[in-house]
Structure 1
Amino acid sequence: MPVSQLNEQVVMIPAGPGQNVSLETTVFKPDGDGPFPLLVINHGKAPGDPKMQQRDRFIHMASAFVRRGYAVMVPMRTGFAHSTGHYIDHGCDMAANGYTQANDVRDAIRYARGQRWVDPRRIVVAGQSYGGLATMALATQDVPGVRGVMNFAGGLRVHGGPCDWQGALVRAFGDYGRRSKVASLWMYGANDSYFGPELVDRMHQAYTRAGGKAQLVAYGDFKRDAHTMLASREGEKVWLPVAERFLARIGMPVGEKFTVAGEAQYQAPSDYAALEDVEAIPYLAGKGRAEYKAFLQRQLPRAFAVSPTGAWGWAEEGEDPSGSALAACQTRSQQPCQLYSVDDYVVWRTVSATGRTE
């Protein structure tokens, strides 16, 4: 199978009524000129100021689609991260919130259809959390080339105040169902901390009874919180088989075409010590060993790093836990940090006097 790079780049896409807003957009695509089918992924909203939100990449989902020959775009909507303009909040009017966010997604697709590397007839749109709400609002519009949409834990929660946000979400999905233009796939987990099964059932019934086409997949618990499933490396085991069947139904490609270069930096297990042998860890004093013992209760994927200075760092989940653990350790150490364990195995190799690992 041919090997491809992810070819990640960031572009600024014009959007808004007068095209006076620029959307910070991450693009991934296989090697070559295309044209490639396109996946657009829509992000959620973190607590606090949208301007402080980091650029979303959805690297695990993007990699899975690049392997299948897709280009992928992840636009940060108006007022988020380094996108210009001001975020607009319609409060408890959930339908309006979704429609406003969908306007940016539509503009991103319009831009994409003008690129020679995009196949303008084969587009699928996905969204997570607030991005899922925006995606379902987009599905009410006639957007050329869009064959279907995927909603991963879609919705918007209001913290505090008198807003009946659950009822508002149900009404919004009923409105979207009446206006829907394309088929949709919905995926919600049983232990989602934002949108529980009872609310999801109400939203789905409102959508389908109003005429919308939506396959709901309730996949049970995922780790501590199913709301994080799409952002997790291990989430691919949950969403990908279902998504492949949906893609096939709407006439989108499914089979793998490439191996992505450098997609996983595999750390081979060593025979240095057993994972649970806290006393075997080099350099660490009592506090560091206690931290490692607590680390062993963290979720996969995870990584723990140490330094000759006695510093340590760990990370769980995310796009690159090994890199994050090393970076966390390095902030506390003037000497180089090294990974001690990754996931469920020790990767530490002793360093000889010549500086070589053994």
Structure 2
Amino acid sequence: MTRVQLLSSRTRRRAAAALAAALLMAVTQAFSAAPLPESVVMVPKKSGLFTTELETTLYLPEGDGPFPIVVINHGKANGDPKFQARYRPGGPARFFLARGYAVVVPMRQGFSKSSGSYIGGGCNVESNGREQAGDVAAVLDYVTAQPWADKARIVVAGQSHGGWTTLAFGTLGYPGVKGLIDFAGGLRQEQCVGWQQGLIGAAGNYGKETRTPSLWFYGDNDSYFPPFAWKGMHDGYVAGGASAKLVAFGNFGSDAHTMFGAADGARIWQPVVAEFLREIGMPDQPLPAFARYVAAPATTAPPATDFAAIDAVDRVPDQSAASLAGYRVFLGKTFPRAFAINAQGGWGSAWGGDDPLARALENCAKKAASGACQLYAVDDKIVWKP
């Protein structure tokens, strides 16, 4: 390396350090993270003589735009999709808002307050994905018609069933979509014979029709999709001609399927997603103008203890009927989540959004007769210390 090259390299590093310091100062000067700029719209999807309304959450930065767009697709919980809560991915929304994106989170047909019925497609998982992708396209048709939207810069992402929807959406070649991000995508259909091979075959077919680059995240201890399934899906997808970078991050907690929603998962996906955004020509770094959306330091979870198994309802210190019912509800929620207990009686829980640990303690304090509340469980770990 010549002296000129060395000086140039040093200059670039100093400039980068100065920019990082300026951003850090902007974030530090903000006394707390701004509330998420959340609104909900019902997006019409016309199909023949019928119109379906899709409940869609928007997180829009302040200003006129146009803003680059990221769509985040939800998974599918057990039970009737109509009773599934509106998806509110607080942490991921802040990640993209801080980079100047408008965040779009649609609930597909038959989910939550969206009208119509969930179209499952039976055991045809390929058809299922394509049906879901149509809802995403309808929402993007609405979004790209708005003055605040940059219709030439779009990223589509999703977790679990939402990740599968994202891969299926890639076959549409939607204008302006620069990249796809799949977090543990797929659909578990244990009632269908050979359902894992169905996923592998369908992914191969999607790959034949997709030319948008994609990024995939899967872990070894995924409770939905074992390694042979997601590796087979990736191999088939790439063999079909699609571009897909696979991030196999090994084990994560007790279930790698929850990585995207867990607070600890941010350290795994956020740096890699930032690099992917840079590679596809999308904004990848936090911007000082949107520093207020950077997540404030969250409550730190205590270390895990061996007090009980996460699903041992009989070990919850408050054995009142209300507390046990609340704990069962907590166990059915996705990460991030927290459950707090008061040893003298009282409990509280929270999930999703900003700092569920602090909100669980606050909810517990409202019910406690006396004394302080303490976290009992965080995500999939018991942290209670008697």
Q: Same fold (TM over 0.5)?
A: yes
The equivalent of 1:306 in structure 2 is 342
The equivalent of 2:7 in structure 1 is none
Structure 2 CA distance for partners of 1:339 and 1:119, relative to 1, 3 Å: farther
Name stretches of at least 5 consecutive residues in structure 2 with no aligned partner. Answer: 1-25, 308-314, 321-326
How far apart are residue 324 of structure 1 and its match?
3.1
The equivalent of 1:352 in structure 2 is none
Q: Does 1:124 align with 2:155?
A: yes
How far apart are residue 6 of structure 1 and its match?
2.5
How far apart are residue 288 of structure 1 and its match?
3.5
The equivalent of 1:259 in structure 2 is 291
| C-alpha distance after superposition, 1:261-312 (max 9, x if no partner) | 594375699xxxx999x9xxxxxxx974899xxx9xx9987463538xx223
The equivalent of 2:169 in structure 1 is 138
The equivalent of 2:38 in structure 1 is 8
| C-alpha distance after superposition, 1:65-111 (max 9, x if no partner) | 11111110110000000001111111111110000000000011111
Map 1:1-358 → 2, pairs under 5 A: 1=26, 5-18=35-48, 20-160=51-191, 162-257=192-287, 258-260=290-292, 263-264=295-296, 266=298, 288=317, 302=338, 304-306=340-342, 310-313=344-347, 315=349, 318-319=352-353, 320-327=356-363, 330=366, 333=368, 339-340=373-374
Quick one: distance in 2 between partners of 1:241 and 1:54?
Answer: 29
Quick one: distance in 2 between partners of 1:248 and 1:154?
Answer: 23
Q: If the length of structure 1 is used for normalisation, what is the TM-score?
A: 0.81
How far apart are residue 336 of structure 1 and its match?
8.3
Quick one: distance in 2 between partners of 1:268 and 1:185?
Answer: 29
Structure 2 CA distance for partners of 1:7 and 1:167, relative to 1, 3 Å: same
Secondary structure, counterpart of 1:260 in structure 2: helix
Secondary structure, counterpart of 1:149 in structure 2: strand
**Residue 321 of structure 1 aligns to which amino acid in structure 2?**
L
Number of residue pairs the alignment of both structures matches = 323
Structure 2 CA distance for partners of 1:198 and 1:23, relative to 1, 3 Å: same
| C-alpha distance after superposition, 1:26-63 (max 9, x if no partner) | 11121212111111000110011000000001111111
How far apart are residue 228 of structure 1 and its match?
0.8
How far apart are residue 235 of structure 1 and its match?
1.1
| C-alpha distance after superposition, 1:193-245 (max 9, x if no partner) | 00111111111111111111111110011111111111112211110111111
Structure 2 CA distance for partners of 1:230 and 1:266, relative to 1, 3 Å: closer
Identity within the alignment, % = 41
CA RMSD in angstroms, aligned pairs only: 3.2
Tell me, yes or no, if the aligned pair for 2:340 and 2:364 is still in contact at 8 Å.
no
Tell me, yes or no, if the aligned pair for 1:139 and 1:149 is still in contact at 8 Å.
yes
Quick one: distance in 2 between partners of 1:231 and 1:241?
Answer: 15
* Structure with greater helix share of residues: 2
**Residue 137 of structure 2 aligns to which amino acid in structure 1?**
R
Secondary structure, counterpart of 1:20 in structure 2: strand
